[in-house]
Amino acid sequence: MEDGGQGHVARQEFKYRILVVDDDPIIRETAALILASQGYEVRTSEDGFAALVNLRYALPDLIISDLRMPNMSGFELLSIVRRRFPQIPVIAISGEFHAEGPIGLLADAFLQKGGYRPEQLLAKVLELLRLSPMRPSIVKSDIAPVWTPTTDTGYLVLTCQECLRSFSCPQPENSDELSSAECLHCGTEVRFLRGRTPKKK
Question: Can you give the pLDDT at residue 145?
Answer: 54
| Regions of the chain short of the pLDDT cut 50 | 1-6, 9-12, 137-142, 144, 197-201
Give 41's contacts (C-beta < 8 A, 6+ positions apart): 15, 16, 17, 18
Question: Can you give the pLDDT at residue 82?
Answer: 87
Half-sphere exposure of 105 (CA within 13 A, CB side): 24
Distances (CA, A) of 141 to 146, 147, 178: 15, 18, 18
**In the chain, ranges of CATH 3.40.50.2300 domains:** 17-131
Which listed CATH number (3.40.50.300, 3.40.1030.10, 3.40.50.2300, 3.30.360.10) goes with 17-131? 3.40.50.2300
What residues does 195 pair with on adjacent strands? 149
Distance, in Å, from the CA atom of 80 to the CA atom of 67, rounded to the nearest integer, reads 13
Q: Give the burial class of 156: count Cβ atoms within 10 A of its Cβ; 0-12 exposed, 13-18 middle, 19 or more buried.
A: buried
Distance, in Å, from the CA atom of 186 to the CA atom of 161, rounded to the nearest integer, reads 10
> Is the Cβ–Cβ distance between 31 and 22 less than 8 Å?
yes
Q: 25-36 and 118-131 helices cross at what angle (nearest 10)?
A: 60
Sheet (strand 146-149) strand order: 146-149, 189-195, 179-182
Question: Can you give the pLDDT at residue 6?
Answer: 47
Question: Can you give the pLDDT at residue 99?
Answer: 62
